[in-house]
């Protein structure tokens, strides 16, 4: 009898875990919606800039293909304004590279902003971070600490795992849900333009998968075509 109860409890727990997982898999953005006043076409434009950051800073097909663009959407009409880009490099993920780069861009005395460090920190509260894959828990935490207005990601952690990437299985939504003590709120939009971000993460562990545009298979890996 006790065994039955334990089994029942276990299966209820399983149902609740399964439901949570299913909820995470629901894309939070939809191509018909304008979220926070920004239409999908504009979101798609900046997600493509996050993809393009790879080619601009590293190569069209780096192994760790994590690209980020940080954007000011409060400059009113139109697409908004690019503040900085970042891409995965050794010892730094795309998001952290972009946050560091933006801090440098915003505080450069010879740059267009010339902010103090504390003004730069305040500026993040009005900026949107676009990244082509869902952040690792450490980066999602950094995004919350920086206090971004919005965080928009493409490929989900679930998809990365499906494609063979080792990941810490904590969704950004969970990190955000646990960060309510922080003063700034950050709007999260997941799985935006995954049809264009997923291919950057699909070839590394699948020798049959086509390389990103501009690259070809060389010794099993994708490399930039000359």
Q: What are phi and psi of 115, to 5 degrees?
A: -90, 160
Task: Supply the minimum distance, in Å, between the C-beta of residue 41 and ligand NAG.
Answer: 7
- How many residues line the site for ligand NAG (CB under 6 A)? 21
User: Strand pairing of 150-155 and 187-189?
Assistant: parallel
Question: Looking at 21, 25, 36, 75, which residue binds ligand NAG (CB under 6 A)?
Answer: 75
67 is a site residue for ligand NAG (CB under 6 A)? no
CA end-to-end span of the chain: 69
Helix (H, G, I), strand (E, B) or coil at 110: coil
Residue 120: CB minimum distance to ligand NAG, A: 8
What is the dihedral angle through the alpha carbons of 203, 91, 50, 121, rounded to the nearest 10 degrees?
160
Structure tokens at 80: 């908004």
* Beta strands at 215-218 and 127-133: parallel, antiparallel or unpaired: unpaired
Chain residues 179-218 in contact with ligand NAG, contact rule CB under 6 A: 193, 195-196
- Give the residue, chosen from 60, 67, 86, 212, that forms a contact with ligand NAG under the rule CB under 6 A: 86
Bridge partners for 82 per DSSP = 71
Is residue 108 part of the contact set for ligand NAG (CB under 6 A)? no
Find the binder of ligand NAG among 16, 20, 74, 221 (CB under 6 A). Answer: 74
Nearer Cβ to ligand NAG, position 98 or 175? Answer: 98
Binding residue (CB under 6 A) for ligand NAG from 126, 145, 209, 224: 126
DSSP 114-137: ---HHHHHHHHTTEEEEEEEPPPH
Taking CB under 6 A as the rule, which mask of x and - marks residues 26-65 in contact with ligand NAG? -----x------------x------------x--------
What's the min distance (Å) between Cβ of 184 and ligand NAG? 14
Which of residues 35, 79, 82, 223 is near ligand NAG by CB under 6 A? 82
State phi, psi for 37 to the nearest 5 degrees: 80, 5
In the complex, minimum distance from the CB of residue 126 to ligand NAG, in angstroms, rounded to a whole number = 5
The DSSP code sequence of 40-71 is HHHHHHHHHHHHHHHHHHT-SS-SS--EEEEE
- The Cα 160–Cα 107 span in angstroms is 34
Considering the rule CB under 6 A, would residue 119 count as an interface residue with ligand NAG? no
Residues in contact with ligand NAG by the rule CB under 6 A: 31, 44, 57, 72, 74-75, 82, 84-86, 97, 101, 105, 109-110, 114, 123, 126, 193, 195-196
């Amino acid at each position: 009898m006790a065994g039955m109860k334990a089994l029942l409890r276990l299966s209820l727990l399983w149902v609740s875990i399964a439901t949570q997982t299913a909820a995470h898999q629901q894309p939070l953005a939809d191509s018909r919606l304008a979220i926070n006043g920004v239409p999908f076409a504009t979101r798609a434009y900046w997600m493509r800039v996050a993809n393009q950051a790879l080619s601009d800073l590293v190569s069209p097909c780096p192994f760790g293909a994590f690209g980020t663009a940080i954007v000011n959407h409060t400059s009113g009409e139109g697409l908004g304004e690019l503040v900085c880009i970042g891409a995965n490099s050794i010892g730094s993920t795309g998001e952290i590279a972009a946050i560091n780069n933006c801090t440098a861009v915003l505080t450069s005395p010879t740059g267009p902003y010339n902010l103090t460090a504390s003004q730069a920190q305040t500026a993040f509260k009005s900026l949107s971070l676009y990244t082509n894959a869902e952040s690792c828990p450490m980066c999602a935490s950094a995004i919350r600490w920086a206090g971004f207005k919005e965080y928009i990601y493409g490929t989900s952690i679930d998809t990365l795992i499906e494609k063979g990437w080792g990941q810490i299985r904590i969704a950004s939504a969970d990190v955000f849900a646990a960060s309510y003590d922080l003063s700034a709120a950050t709007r999260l939009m997941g799985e935006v333009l995954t049809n264009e971000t997923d291919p950057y993460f699909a070839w590394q562990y699948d020798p049959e998968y086509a390389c990103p545009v501009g690259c070809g298979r060389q010794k099993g890996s994708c490399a930039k075509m000359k």
